[in-house]
Structure 1
Amino acid sequence: MCQGHEFPIYKKDKERKAKIKVITLLAFFIREVP
């Protein structure tokens, strides 16, 4: 029951981290490539 309640929060956190990763990679690529 508790685990089922926590799962959507975990999924959102995972998606948020994935977005941060993509933004970081894009920023790095834009900075490195003139």
Structure 2
Amino acid sequence: VGFHILLPFVLFSFHVDHAMSTNYYINSRCSATTN
């Protein structure tokens, strides 16, 4: 597998993971303020 094929997949998976962790952080903050 070429590196130029693997690189976009790694960047995409990192972006999705970062978005999910940010979403989780926002959700936990919102639930903490409502409680």
Identity among equivalent positions (%) equals 3
Task: Give the paired residue count.
Answer: 34
Structure 2 gap ranges (5+):
none
Q: Which residue is equivalent to 1:12?
A: 13
1:12: how far off? 0.1
After TM superposition, the score normalised by the length of structure 2 is 0.79
* Residue identity in the other structure for 1:13: F
After TM superposition, the score normalised by the length of structure 1 is 0.80
* Residue identity in the other structure for 2:29: F
Structure 1 gap ranges (5+):
none
Give every structure 1 segment of 4 or more consecutive aligned residues whose post-TM-superposition deviation is greater than 2 Å.
Answer: 1-5
RMSD of aligned C-alpha atoms?
Answer: 1.3
1:3: how far off? 3.5
